[in-house]
Amino acid sequence: MADMNQLIEQLQGFDINDVDWDRVGVWPVAVRVLLCFFAAAAIVVAGYFLVVQEKNHELDIAKNKEVQLKTSFETKAFEAANLDRYRQQMLEMKESFGTLVSRLPTDTEVPGLLEDIDNKGVESRLSIQSIALQNEVSTEFYIELPIKINVSGGYHEFGAFVSGVAGMPRIVTLHNFRISKPSSSSGAGLTNSTLTMEIIAKTYRYKSQGS
């Protein structure tokens, strides 16, 4: 207790303005102890910010990478375990794709397709005014061929015609329906009760890599 009181008295009697930094060895023991304490604290703090903090950051990165690697491993393990199923799905997709492509007409089949559309009009008891090919539209994977169709008849006949075209073996989609009454200057055979329908039918051709 006496030593502690002596150290406290030395600190109280120490004047920082009278410090002689060239004679640290003759400073009071209490002052030298306090100086060593602050120096040690400074070293610890500097070591934390310069070394420990950086290591903690690297540790966090390593932990995150470990989580990512575990997730990747689990995903690949699941894929490996289901590889046969994926291969079977790929085969089924190829077969489905081949079926769809087979339903797309080639250039040489377009006349036959137009004839089929004309026959659907006749079966539906419609009068075919015109069936005209429009300019092809090329997309990334397929070529779209619009066909402008003008027919005349009644509502029920229109419905039968649309259903017949939609049910054709080849892929044909119908767009831009427009039904109107014929004008007085329309062609022969059209009565006041007859309606005209203009419709765009679109068929598609698979765009091969060389197209």
Q: Judge whether residue 175 has pLDDT over 80.
A: yes
Alpha helices in the chain (DSSP H): 2-12, 29-47, 53-81, 83-102, 110-123, 155-166
CA 165/CA 22 separation, integer angstroms: 107
Top CATH class, 107-206: alpha beta
Q: Is the pLDDT of residue 53 over 80?
A: no
The answer to whether residue 142 scores a pLDDT higher than 50 is: yes
The model's pTM:
0.49
Average pLDDT, the chain: 76
- pLDDT of 155 strictly over 70: yes
Q: Which tens digit of pLDDT belongs to each residue from 26-40?
A: 556 666 666 677 777
- Measure the CA angle with vertex 35, ends 33 and 41; round to 5°: 105
**18/36 Cα distance (integer angstroms):** 19
Helix-helix angle 155-166:110-123, to 10 degrees: 150
